[in-house]
Structures are given as structure tokens and as C-alpha cells.
Structure 1
Amino acid sequence: MAETLVSTPTLSLEIRSWLMAELRFPVMATIASDGMPSQSVIWFDLAAGDVVLMNTRVGRIKERHLRRDPRVSLCFEQENDYVTLAGRAELIDDPERGLRDIQALARRYGDDPAAFEGQHRVTILMHVERATRHT
């Protein structure tokens, strides 16, 4: 089987289409204070430009890691076909926006938006600096 690896500094239309073709559960990697990677599955949506929108509860490990070091990567897989994104995170500390964003993500992923009422959430905007597609 021939392999193709294509890296670009932006989210191409092809990559955006692949990411949104079906519901995907990417693995997010952040950098712990000891320098080791830390990974977790996260919900996402694409925002305008080269931005990926995510959300987490305030106080979670990923939030603490990103406040200390904003470098982040995401890996989206479908068997041997996968996309990796690398970039920097911007944390939006607006409780109303955080709740709106997690509720929109919950609807996208088939969960109950009301289940997040009363939670203190932070929105994560990943500014993509490199996108790689492996087919």
C-alpha cells in the first residue's frame, strides 16, 4: 500500500472536509510541567480560518498545561488514514461563552446541552500552525 504524507501550514479545504466528514474524537496532546506529553480525547469543531474550537472544565489538567505552555497537538484517526494538527492554544476565560461553546459541542456530539449548566468552562481556540495528512 502506497503512503502519502502531506504537510501544510494551514487547514486546507481537503483537510477541513476530511475532519468534518464524520463525527471524530481527536486525541489532544499537551505538555506537562515535567516535559512529558499528556493526552486526552476531546470534542472539537472548526472555527473560521485555521482555528479549532474546543472546551474544557476549569481546573482540568489540560487547562493547567495550556496556561503554562500553549503548545498543543491533535490527532484524528480513521484506521491508517489520519490528520495531525500542531499549534498554540488561546484560552478564553468568559464563563458565558464557555457554557455556550460546550453546549454547542454537546449538540454536535449528541449529548444533552443542559447537562453542562452551572459548570465553569473555558473555551480553547487552537491556532493551527501545521496540518499533516497521512493516507
Structure 2
Amino acid sequence: MTATFDEAVRARLQAPSIRYVGTVFADGAPRVSPMRVDLEGEGELTFNTSVGRVEEENLRRDPRVHLSHADATDPFARVQISGVVARFNEGEEAHDRMDRPAREYLGSERFEWIVPGEQRVAVIVRPVRVRHIVGVERFRPGGSVPAL
């Protein structure tokens, strides 16, 4: 099952901003990394990492990923996306994908900080659940209000 993005979520994803990408260590502990995440076509997301980095290793072992983003002016307006890795793109294509964020964030035509021998990996994520929350989140159906 693939989730879709409404117009408000799509607009947030298209704006240059850092998202928080959560992966899972082998022992089940969470790991969260700030990353640039882009729309890939109409319904997938993509971010870039390198072979041997923690998020790449975590995702090759366990393809579950969670992305979170809070609005800079209202941190209670947020988007949370749960998904799974659909594929990894490597080689020149992954290196070329680093140029767009370099233009947006650094004003440079090329991403100039590739380490010699570094192998970039573009991670393509299929969203499974998308939540756009504004304000205080409601209790889950059937959930109870905590006693004071």
C-alpha cells in the first residue's frame, strides 16, 4: 500500500528544508539524522547518503524509514511520513543528485565536498503513512485521557 500526498504536504516537501530521517539500528534503537529530502516523481521521496554511513547500513538491513518535518514558524504544524525503501540508486546518478541541494543551500553548482573514494547512494522511499498535524495532536480513537 502506498500513501499519497495532499497539496499542503506536497508544498511542504517541495520547499527547501531539512527533514529528520529515522532509521533503526540492529538492536532496535532509533537513529535520527537531519537530511535534505526531495519528492521523487509523484509519490516517492528521496534522500542521499553514502555507502558505509549509518543510515545506509540500517536501511539495507531494515528498510523501514520515518521522516518528520516541523514548520519553522510553527513547530506544532508538522508532517510525519512512514515508509519503506523502494530502491537504492548508486553511481553517477547518486552523485548528480547532490548538486540540487548544493545549489539550493550553498549557492554552488556542484556538491564540492565529496570525499575521495566516497560512493553516494540515493535512497528512494515509498510512503506508507502520511500524517499532517497542525496544533495539539488528538488522542487515538479508544485512547484514554491520562489521569491528573
- Tell me if both proteins adopt one fold, taking TM over 0.5 as the criterion: yes
User: 2: distance between equivalents of 1:126 and 1:75?
Assistant: 13
Give the TM-score normalised by structure 2. Answer: 0.78
Counterpart of 1:74 in 2: which secondary structure? strand
1:94, distance to aligned residue in structure 2 (A):
2.4
Q: Deviation string for 1:111-135 (max 9, x for gaps)?
A: 5424145531000111111110011
Structure 1 residues 90-114: Cα deviation after superposition (integer angstroms, max 9, x where no partner)? 3424211110111222223235424
Give 1:25's aligned amino acid.
I
RMSD (Å) for aligned C-alpha atoms: 1.8
C-alpha offsets along residues 2-43 of structure 1, whole Å, 9 cap, x if unaligned? xxxxxx9311222101232x4211110001100111111011
Q: Which amino acid aligns with 2:123?
A: I
Unmatched segments (≥5 aa) in structure 1: 1-7
Q: In proportion to residue count, which structure has more helix?
A: 1
The question of whether the paired residues in 2 share the 8 Å contact of 1:45 and 1:105 is answered with no
Please identify runs of 4+ aligned residues in structure 1 that moved more than 4 A.
none
Unaligned 5+ runs, structure 2:
135-148
Instruction: Give the alignment partner of residue 87 of structure 1, picking from 65, 69, 83.
Output: 83
> Shift of the alpha carbon at 1:75?
0.3
Task: Kindly indicate whether structure 1 or structure 2 has the higher relative contact order, using CA contacts under 8 Å at least 6 residues apart.
Answer: 1
Cα distance change, pair 102–91 in 1 and its aligned pair in 2 (3 A): farther
Count of matched residue pairs? 127
The structure that has the greater radius of gyration is: 2
Q: Is 1:24 the counterpart of 2:17 in the alignment?
A: yes
CA distance in 2, matches of 1:107, 1:123: 17
TM-score after normalising by structure 1:
0.84
The sequence identity of aligned pairs, in percent, is 27
